[in-house]
Chain A
Amino acid sequence: MNRNWSIFNIVSVVLGFAFLYLPIVLLIVYSFNASKLVTVWGGFSTRWYSEMLSNQGLMDAAWVTFRVGLLSATVATVLGTLAALALVRHTRFRGRTLFTGMVYAPLVMPEVITGLSLLLLFVSVGFERGFWTVSLAHITFSMCFVAVVVQSRLVSYDMSLEEAAQDLGCTPFEAFYKVTLPVILPAVIAGWMLAFTLSLDDLVIASFTSGPGATTLPMKIFSQVRLGVTPEINAVCTVLIGLVATGVIIASLINKRKMVREARIDSKV
């Protein structure tokens, strides 16, 4: 490896990372600002964190978001995985191209349209808007993301693995959860995480489909920012970043430990 860093390299790396992370760093730094004015540094303080915790509205919104995320990501993962399985397995049914296209279409559909159409649906069937409607809406749009992620894994999956499991005494269902599911599990988990984050940061669709008492965190933040950015919001965002970062780090640590263990078995033999 070349250890000589030229000035050009250093500058480009610094600029690149600054472009990506400067706004986030600023946000984190100002969340510890003692001053009430967002852009004026008034010394270090954690007061906005305690204020955030005592802000019932924010806490309620966070709790709603978390519940919506968990529910919609889980259901979307189940449905998306099933859709992917159906698409990969039955390659010759009539209208397959249309069906595939219909699964992919919501990916590129403007969120405003998805949100509006869902709103119209809920209104027309007289569904009271709130937690369930937001969750349903999130399932609808994140399911296709899961389907795409899982399908890309399934394409390279050797279907004879499932046949081998059946041959060795599994019912078709056992073959799926003992062999296929463990093999495609990383993709399923990735799909779940994608669905969860999509649900966490969705503002547009949630605004259309939510009702009183089911305000999600992005909605809450957005409405508060309209009245002016408070350091409290910075604190909330910092916590969010912290949570996401921890998740990513844990995931990569697990992955690394698994690799190390496999390498050890390798070297032993």
Chain B
Amino acid sequence: MKSLGSTRRSFTPWLDKETKPYISFQNVTKKFGDFVAVDNLTLNIYEREFYSLLGPSGCGKTTLLRMLAGFEEPTSGEIFLDGVSLKGVPPHKRPVNMMFQSYALFPHMSVRDNIGFGLKQAGIAKAQITERVDAILKLVKLEEFAKRKPDQLSGGQRQRVALARSVVLRPKLLLLDEPLGALDKKLREETQFELMDLQHELGLTFMIVTHDQEEAMTMSDRIAVMDKGTVIQTGTPAEIYEAPNSRYVADFIGTVNTLEGKVKEKAAGKVKIVGKDGFTIEAATTDQFALNTDDTAWFSIRPEKIKVSRSKPDKQTNAVEGEVWDIGYLGDMTLFNVMLDSGTIMRASVLNAKRTVDDPIGYEDRIWLSFEPDAGIVLER
């Protein structure tokens, strides 16, 4: 069976019509004065899902999270958690915990007191608090820092304390606002996997806000790509990457070549597009393809799906010649920016599967770029 991406998923509650969503945003709108932060948004999230809200700053993703936590009330529409409306429920009565972007650790309390704060607030017995805090300290590997104050910790340690503090209450839903934003790249990558393990181990539902597409891709079961208060597309990382529904999504996730053209011939499952750059593209389409002849369409293809060759490929379509403009050697792969005769620059990447190459491509070489009809996707908007 053919599937998008190179991984197979066993956790797909959103495909099952029977499964009830755990969190449900129904026609939620939030306005701040005249500014519409969230615009008539409907969204379903399922239990035990790792869900990411991805988008540029100001797209409304943090507002969405804050509405779930109870710090903002929707202007209109309703949010349901496990079938119960959250309308008018104050933050301290919601079975939801949030990890703040600034971590929001209490500076006057030790690590232990910070983590135990919520338990104490819930009126749990002292001995039990100690036990649970000890367990979570072990989980986040901070046992020997229990007595320290937050200002005596490094950024990564603070992040762990914030995480421990929000999961120790075993919330039904954990909200994470840019949880890794303040960490450096290497620590961020390590922590991504730790977060995934933790989510799996505790069996929680995670909802995370991020502007880092790599972070969202690595960790999420599903991603919602947002722009200007609306969700443009929801899907698994592979769906978002391989089958974006718009130029916005294609462009936001990873690198992409987008070629503009006009629809020429339309047949079942395929279409011919005459590109602005003077070459004809033959592309596979899905059943939902709705464009007609002479409509403007965009063909979008990822760099790694383009074949690079010195000689002209046999096919008449899906091949174009250009001059090597820039070369970026990354170690695991090499990037080629190729300028077509029309002046458009296309990017192709080649995996360096071998250590040595007989006839390496250099600057200003003329090379051919070619691709299969189903290597890219035709976008209507």
A269 to B69 Cα, complex, angstroms = 36
9-residue interface stretch from B95-103, B266-274, B302-310, B360-368: B95-103
Shortest distance between the CB of A164 and any CB in chain B (Å): 4
From residue 117 to 134 of chain B, which have CB atoms closer than 8 A to chain A?
117-118, 121-122
A85 within 8 A of B: no
* Residues of the B chain whose Cβ atoms lie less than 8 Å from the Cβ of A179: 106
A203 within 8 A of B: no
Contact flags A7-50 to B (C-beta < 8 A → 1, else 0) = 00000000000000000000000000000000000000000000
* Residues of the A chain whose Cβ atoms lie less than 8 Å from the Cβ of B355: none
9-residue interface stretch from B7-15, B38-46, B146-154, B219-227: B146-154
A164 to B176 Cα, complex, angstroms = 12
Asked whether A161 and B91 contact (CB < 8 A) given A168-B97, A168-B121, A168-B169, the answer is no
B145 within 8 A of A: yes
Shortest distance between the CB of B8 and any CB in chain A (Å): 37
B262 within 8 A of A: no
Asked whether A169 and B147 contact (CB < 8 A) given A158-B102, A160-B100, A183-B108, the answer is no
Pairwise interchain contact A167-B92, C-beta atoms closer than 8 A: yes
New A-B pairs, 4, CB < 8 Å, besides A158-B102, A164-B165:
A168-B165, A169-B118, A183-B106, A265-B152
Pairwise interchain contact A166-B108, C-beta atoms closer than 8 A: no
Pairwise interchain contact A163-B145, C-beta atoms closer than 8 A: no
Grouping DSSP codes into helix (H, G, I), strand (E, B) and loop, the A interface class, with mixed when no group exceeds half, is helix
* Residues of the B chain whose Cβ atoms lie less than 8 Å from the Cβ of A158: 102, 104
- In the complex, 26 of the A-B residue pairs with CB atoms within 8 angstroms, ordered by the A residue number, are A158-B102, A160-B100, A160-B102, A160-B104, A161-B107, A163-B91, A164-B100, A165-B106, A166-B70, A166-B71, A166-B90, A166-B92, A167-B96, A167-B97, A167-B166, A168-B121, A168-B169, A169-B121, A169-B169, A170-B121, A171-B90, A172-B90, A262-B152, A265-B148, A265-B152, A269-B148
* Residues of the B chain whose Cβ atoms lie less than 8 Å from the Cβ of A262: 149, 152
B190 within 8 A of A: no
A242 within 8 A of B: no
Shortest distance between the CB of A178 and any CB in chain B (Å): 8
Pairwise interchain contact A165-B117, C-beta atoms closer than 8 A: yes
Pick the contact of B104: A164, A170, A171, A265 (CB < 8 A): A164
* Residues of the B chain whose Cβ atoms lie less than 8 Å from the Cβ of A247: none
* Number of residues from A at the complex interface, CB < 8 A: 22
B144 within 8 A of A: yes
Shortest distance between the CB of A83 and any CB in chain B (Å): 23
A262 to B107 Cα, complex, angstroms = 13
A-B complex: 3 closest residue pairs judged by Cβ atoms: A168-B118, A169-B121, A164-B104
* Residues of the A chain whose Cβ atoms lie less than 8 Å from the Cβ of B104: 158, 160-161, 163-164
* Residues of the A chain whose Cβ atoms lie less than 8 Å from the Cβ of B91: 163, 166-167
A182 within 8 A of B: yes
